[in-house]
Amino acid sequence: MPQLSQLGLVYQSQWFWLLLVLGVIYFFVGRGIVPRVESTVDQRDAQIAADLAEAERLRAEADAAEEGWRSRMNAAHAEAQGLTAQAKAAAAEAEGKRIAAADKRLAAKAEEAAQALDAARQSALAEVEAMAAEAAREIVAKLTSAKVDDKAVRAAVAGALSRA
């Protein structure tokens, strides 16, 4: 069979071309493409590392800014609480002054009312005393037909009213 006798030559030729193609691919890919890919990967790694470092720096700045903001907010809250306390104290003081002024006015009115009441009581007592004195004089005049002195009748009535 002639086909089998050629088999060795055909295989040798195929092996030769296979090795030649693999050698060309090795040099073309291994020496041409791989270094470019490696440099691209190295650049990418460096860029990622730089980006991570920048992100860390920005995060630290943001943390510092946030801390500054929090301290300003705390100071503003403390100032607002102080102002609120001052306003409350001022309102309480003003309220105390208004209450004291109202108490003074009420005390003055109460004093005036007490004086008016005392004057009315004195006037009523004087009227009662005068009426009692006149009634006593008329009773004594009807019972005894004697004329009683006005001073004596008033003194007797005043003594009787003071004991009552």
The 10s digit of each residue's pLDDT in 66-108 is 999 999 999 999 999 999 999 999 999 999 999 999 999 999 9
The answer to whether the beta carbons of residues 158 and 132 sit under 8 Å apart is no
Dihedral, CA of residue 76, residue 79, residue 80 and residue 81, to nearest 10: 120
Section 97-123 average pLDDT: 93
**pLDDT number for residue 81:** 96
Q: Which residues contact 157 (CB under 8 A, 6 or more apart)?
A: 129, 132, 133, 136
Identify the helix (H) or strand (E) that includes residue 73.
helix 34-144
Query: Hey, what amino acid is at 71?
Result: S
Q: Return left, alpha or beta for 147; rule: phi > 0 is left, psi -120 to 50 is alpha, else beta.
A: beta
Query: CA 119 to CA 121: how far, in whole Å?
Result: 5
Query: CA 141 to CA 144: how far, in whole Å?
Result: 5
Query: Hey, what amino acid is at 42?
Result: D
Hey, CA dihedral for 3, 9, 15, 19, is it positive or negative?
negative
The answer to whether the beta carbons of residues 141 and 148 sit under 8 Å apart is yes
Section 145-151 average pLDDT: 79
Query: CA 102 to CA 108: how far, in whole Å?
Result: 10
Least confident window among 57-61, 94-98, 144-148: 144-148
DSSP state of 149: P
Global pTM reads 0.42
Residue, of 92 and 122, whose pLDDT is higher: 92
